Amino acid sequence: MSTRHHTAESATGVPWLRDAYEYCPDAVLVLNGEHSILSANPAAVRLLEPQDRALAGRRLDDFLPVDKKAQWQSNFNKLIAKDWHAMEGTIINGRGSECPVIARAVTIALADGHKGVLVFLQDILLFRNVEKALVASQDQWERSFDAITDGLCILDSMGRILRTNHAMKERFGPLLGNLIGIGFQELFHGESTPEIPHPVRQSPFSLPEVTLPRLPDRWFGISAYPKKDEGDAVTGAVLILRDVTEQHIMKASLARAESGLRQQGKMEAIGRVSGSIAHDFNNVLTSILGYSSFALKLLEENHPAREDIRQIIAAGERGSALTRQLMDFSHEHAIETHPLDINQILTGIESFLRRTVGEQVELRLQLEQSLHAVKADKTRLEQVLMNLVINARDAMPTGGRILIQTSNIAISPLPAYTRRELEPGDYVLLEVSDTGHGMPPHVMEHIFEPFFTTKGKGKGNGIGLSTVYGIVKQFGGAILCYSEIDKGTTFKIYLPRETAPIEGPAAPAPVQHLLPRGQETLLVVDDEANIVVLISDILTELGYRILKASSPEEALAIAEQCPGSIDLVITDIVMPKMNGPALVEQLRLARPALKGLFMSGYANKAAVYNGILTSDAAFLQKPFSFEVLAASVRETLDKR
C-alpha cells in the first residue's frame, strides 16, 4: 500500500471516508510516532476488546505477546519502511485470547504536523480454522485412501499414475519401484499381457477376473471410472485392482464339487441300470448254465454233443463273470471283507504282474514298511491291481515305467465349499502310476463308466475301470485319477484304515464229489417259468418232491391245497405284487416251521440294505451251478 499524507481528521471528516472508516470489516488504528493509539474504528474495538471499551491512549504493543514484542516491532518497522507489504502476527485481546492477524501499515501526516501511522489489522482466525479443517480433511482423506485394501491409482488424461494408495504400493512397488509417473500399461506388461481397456478413454468398465503376467499366481478384478472436472470433461480416471484370488479358488472348488456331484449322480444312475441289466441277464444265464449242465449229465461220455455243450457252458460262465463285474460296479455284488495287508498282497502277485507287463515295461514297487491294515476282499483287491496295471501297460505300447506305491495318509477336514471325496480320518493310499500317453480331460470324465473304452475294437470291453470303481466304493474308499497328455497317468486309491488284527489264511473247504440228496417237499416260486422248471428238474433228480409256482398268488394257493408238509420254499426275492420274504412270512402263518431259501440276480447285500432281507437269511445268487443249488438246499434244510 503506498504512503499517503493526510490527517486523521480529514479521514473522518469527509462523509464517504468516514463511512469507509466506520464500516470497514478490518480493524483500523491511527497511531502517533510513539505508536500510541489516537483513533480506532469499531472493528478495532471488536478485535482488541479493551476492558473499558476505550483504545485511545493505549499502545499497540499492550496487545502483543510479551515474548513476541521485539520480533513484532522489528517486522512492523519493515512495514513502515515499505520493505514488507504485509506481516503476520498474533495479538492478545482484552480477554487474554490470542488472535492471528495480518497487519498492513502506511505513514500519514497528523493534524499537528507530526508523522503518524495508519494500521490495518485483518482477523485471520476464521481462515486459520478453515485451513486447519482443510488440512485435517486432507489428512483424513489420505488415511481413508490408504486404508482401502483394494489397489487404487489416480491417473491423468494420458493414463499416467498420479497417485497410489498403500495397497497399490505394497503390491506393485517391489516389482516396479516408484509407481508415480509410469503408464498404467506397466502394471499389466509381460509375456502374455491381458487385454485391458484404456482406463481413461474406455471407462467405466469392470473385468471380474484377470491374471497378470507379473503376478501369475494371483487373480484380480479390474475396474476403472472416469475423473471429470466441473465442466464434465474427462481429466483422468480412477483405476481399481481388487485381489479376488480367494474367491477364484472358492469358485473353482465349488465348480469341481458340482461337477463331482453330477459325475457321482451319473455313476449312481449308471450303476442302477447296470445292476438291473445284470439281474435280468443272470436269470437268462441261470437257464443257460442250468439246462446245459443238466444236458451234459444226461449224455454219455463219448457223445459228440458233449463238447458243444461244454462250449455253451464256458460261454455262459464268461457271461456270468461279466455280470459279476457289472454288479461290482453297481455295488450289488456280495463281498466279504477282512483285515488285509496290501503290501503282502502286492508282494504275493509281484512276479505275476511282472510277467503280465512284459520286458519292455519296468515295474517298481515302493511300499511303506509299517503300512496300516485295510478291510477288503483279497480276490477283489488283486482284481483291482491287475486292472490298473494292465491299463498302465496298454498305455505304453513302446515301453515305459509303472510305479506302485503304498503309504499311510491322514485326511484333514476341508472347508465347507470343498468337495469331500473322503471323510476325515486315517487311510491307506495305493498309487499306480505310469509314463504312458496320458488322457485328455474329456476322456477323464468317462473313464469309470461301464463299456467306455479308448482301446481299439476287440482290445477291451470297457468294464475294467468301472469294476475297479465299484469295488473301491464297496470297500468304503475312493479312487481318483490324475493324467496329463504325454506325461502319464496316476490312479490313487484311498482305503480306510482297519484297526482289527489281520487274520490268517482260512482252511480250504472239503471237496464234495457226490451231490447231496433228500426226500423233503420243496415249493419252488419264480416269475421266470423256465427257472422254475430248471430247478424242479434238478431237485427232482436229487430225490426231492417238488411243488411249482410262477407267482406268489399261485404259491399261496398251492400251499393251501397241499395236505402234507412243506419243508422249504425256494423263491425269487423280486416278484410282481409280493416279494419273496413277504411270501414266506405269509406261508408261515399256517406253517410256522417253514424254511426259506431266497434267490436273486441281485446280490443279498442290496436286499439287506433295502430292508427286504435279513442278514442271516439263506441266499442263492443267480446264476448258480448244479452243485451250488444242491448244496444250498441241503444246507438250508439241515440248519437248526
The model's pLDDT over 357-407, given as tens digits with 9 standing for 90+, comes to: 888 899 999 999 999 999 988 878 888 898 899 889 988 989 999 999 999
Residue with cell 499517503: 4
**Identity at 77, one-letter amino acid code:** N
Beta bridge partners, 224, equal 205, 239
Q: At 299, give phi and psi (nearest 5°).
A: -90, 150
The model's pLDDT over 24-40, given as tens digits with 9 standing for 90+, comes to: 888 999 988 888 888 88
Beta strands 488-498; 478-484: pairing state: antiparallel
**Cα dihedral 254, 255, 258, 263 sign:** negative
Weakest mean pLDDT among 242-256, 314-328, 531-545: 314-328
Half-sphere CA count of 362, side-chain side, radius 13 A: 5
Give start and end residues of each alpha helix (H) in 181-244.
Answer: 185-188
In whole angstroms, what is the distance from residue 329 CA to residue 509 CA?
28
Residue 192: which pLDDT band, with cuts at 50, 70 and 90? very low
Q: Looking at the chain, how many residues does it have?
A: 640
Looking at per-residue pLDDT, the higher value among 119 and 251 belongs to 119
State the average pLDDT for the chain: 81
Residue 473 is inside which H or E element, if any? helix 464-474
Beta strands 361-367; 400-411: pairing state: parallel
Highest mean pLDDT among 176-190, 286-300, 386-400, 452-466: 386-400
Please state whether the peptide bond connecting residue 623 to the residue before it is cis, i.e. omega within 30 degrees of 0: yes
Residue 567's nearest CA partner among 638, 486, 493, 470 is 638
The three-point CA angle 554-558-560 to 5° equals: 115
Contact (Cβ atoms closer than 8 angstroms) between residue 165 and residue 145? yes
Q: What is the model's pLDDT at position 179? A: 83
Looking at per-residue pLDDT, the higher value among 317 and 632 belongs to 632
Q: What is the DSSP string of 245-309?
A: HHHHHHHHHHHHHHHHHHHHHHHHHHHHHHHHHHHHHHHHHHHHHHHHHHHHHHS-TT-THHHHH
361-365: long-range pairs with CB below 8 Å, 24+: 361/392, 361/393, 361/396, 361/399, 361/400, 361/401, 361/402, 362/400, 362/401, 362/402, 363/389, 363/401, 363/402, 363/404, 364/401, 364/402, 364/403, 364/404, 365/404, 365/405
Weakest mean pLDDT among 158-162, 319-323, 542-546, 619-623: 319-323
Residue 321: which pLDDT band, with cuts at 50, 70 and 90? low
Q: What is the model's pLDDT at position 637? A: 93
Q: What is the model's pLDDT at position 328? A: 56
In whole angstroms, what is the distance from residue 552 CA to residue 577 CA?
8
The model's pLDDT over 247-295, given as tens digits with 9 standing for 90+, comes to: 888 877 777 666 656 666 655 665 566 566 666 677 777 777 777 777 7
